[in-house]
Structure 1
Amino acid sequence: MTNVLVVKANNRPDGVSTSMYNAFIEAAATNEALNVTTFDVFEENLEYFGQELFNAFGKAQNGEQLTTREARSLEAFNKSREALTAADVVVFAFPLWNLTIPAALQSFIDYTYGAGYSFKYGEQGELISLMTDKKYVVLNARGGIYSTPQMAATEMSVNYINNVIGGVYGMEKIGEVIIEGHASSKNDAQAIIAAGLEKVKEVAQNLTVNA
């Protein structure tokens, strides 16, 4: 049984990346070899990463009472890491918003990006990835076209996830589906989205082959 964690990062019901999430879940449900769970970063309403977490570490160690924000931050830290630790494959379903990822997804990354957990430093100060036994999939939607050489450098959502999850954490990417141009090409929008959703279904159906 392959444990699949789907990190859902769009709370817009009509969002294209929401449709990608739904298509993946529907297709994955037909694969009996997969145990799929969802971590909805908007539903979790994660406290923003900051000093509250470090205050919580110190207070918890000393048995002191935590403030509400400190308790929420510690809970977010624990839940995010527990979910990621249990996964064999992590699927990120997210949109490009304002050239980057949604803030709620950033919070999940912040709580799981840590020396001694997702990476460590070697004797010479080099970064060593600690999640090389895990794999990941990217499901992304962006209304404009960012795959051209002229626009690629401005795209900081898929690039960011690949740099962090693949580069720092060391997970192996086994699938990537990007739906783009549906907002800038209105006449072709339905066809663009439909083609992308079919690719999402294929990724879900073939997941155990790649995992």
Structure 2
Amino acid sequence: MNVLLIKANDRPATESVSSRMYETFLAEVKDNKNLNVRVYDIFNEDMPYMGQDLFSAFGKSATGGELTEAEQRVLNANNKAREAFTEADVIVIAFPLWNLTIPARLQTFIDYVFAGGFTFKYDAEGNMVQLQPNKKVILLNARGGIYSTVETQAMEMSVNYLRNVFAGMFGHDIIAEVVIEGHNAQPHMAEEIFAEGMERVKAAAKLICE
């Protein structure tokens, strides 16, 4: 089983809960001989934003045109992300809630793979057809505030967004969501919140280790 483990935070685990979630998950799966784990650290990857350079690169590649340095750079990044995505049977994302949404580099990875002709297309009747639906997804999210209440859940645009992308658009099966929240809002409970959350991370890892 090919596992793509996306690390979407460059802060050390001593300072970042989502980085600690990533390290805990990796420790649980890295020695399993039935799993081929590929780590994709988006802060260590060269990932230019999607824009005209990428669209120009697509057009020139289709016609045999010569790419500029910027076009070749973003095309290489796009191709690397798509290759990692395509190979994966399971996609695991460890990510924080930053300013109510996901880190920009994680958005860039999604922009690379969220593409007509790659993850979806439209048939002759205008219906969307998912092109790579047979994948499982595990979401590992940390947020210092509390966004699971009726009053605040509409503000949360990280987990909700990734659900819509991977389950809604790509047709993937989200087999686990682990959300650790409230440790900044309730600092007196932080250690208890961390400990309980990391046990849930380990339980999520066991879903693919069995």
Q: Secondary structure at the match of 1:42?
A: coil
Q: Secondary structure at the match of 2:44?
A: helix
- Structure 1: distance between partners of 2:66 and 2:117: 26
Q: Secondary structure at the match of 1:138?
A: strand
Where does residue 28 of structure 1 map in the other structure? Answer: 29
* Percent pairwise identity: 51
Where does residue 94 of structure 1 map in the other structure? Answer: 95
Where does residue 15 of structure 1 map in the other structure? Answer: 16
1:75 aligns with 2:76: yes
Structure 2: tracts of 5 or more residues without a match = none
Q: Deviation string for 1:130-188 (max 9, x for gaps)?
A: 22211100000000000001101000000000000111011101111000001111111
Give aligned pairs, total. Answer: 208
Q: Secondary structure at the match of 2:138?
A: strand
- Structure 2: distance between partners of 1:26 and 1:175: 17
Where does residue 104 of structure 2 map in the other structure? Answer: 103
- Structure 2: distance between partners of 1:92 and 1:80: 14
- Structure 2: distance between partners of 1:170 and 1:57: 25
Structure 1 residues 148-157 or 55-64, which shifts more? Answer: 55-64
- Structure 2: distance between partners of 1:174 and 1:135: 6
Q: Deviation string for 1:16-58 (max 9, x for gaps)?
A: 1000000000011242211111111111130100110111123
- Structure 1: distance between partners of 2:159 and 2:199: 20
- Structure 2: distance between partners of 1:60 and 1:173: 34
- Structure 2: distance between partners of 1:8 and 1:141: 13
The 8 Å contact of residues 167 and 173 in structure 2, kept in 1 or not, is answered as yes
Q: Secondary structure at the match of 1:203?
A: helix
Q: Secondary structure at the match of 2:183?
A: coil
Provide TM-score, normalisation by structure 1: 0.94
Q: Secondary structure at the match of 2:40?
A: strand
The 8 Å contact of residues 45 and 104 in structure 1, kept in 2 or not, is answered as no
Q: Secondary structure at the match of 1:43?
A: coil
Provide TM-score, normalisation by structure 2: 0.95
- The letter of the residue matching 1:42 is F
Where does residue 199 of structure 2 map in the other structure? Answer: 198
Where does residue 45 of structure 2 map in the other structure? Answer: 44
The 8 Å contact of residues 29 and 209 in structure 2, kept in 1 or not, is answered as no
Where does residue 167 of structure 1 map in the other structure? Answer: 168
Where does residue 5 of structure 1 map in the other structure? Answer: 4
Offset, 1:208: 4.1
Q: Secondary structure at the match of 2:115?
A: coil
Structure 1: tracts of 5 or more residues without a match = none
4+ residue stretches of structure 1 with deviation over 4 A?
none
The 8 Å contact of residues 27 and 201 in structure 1, kept in 2 or not, is answered as yes
- Structure 2: distance between partners of 1:123 and 1:151: 41
- Structure 2: distance between partners of 1:31 and 1:149: 40
- Structure 2: distance between partners of 1:143 and 1:126: 40
Offset, 1:12: 0.7
- Structure 2: distance between partners of 1:21 and 1:45: 20
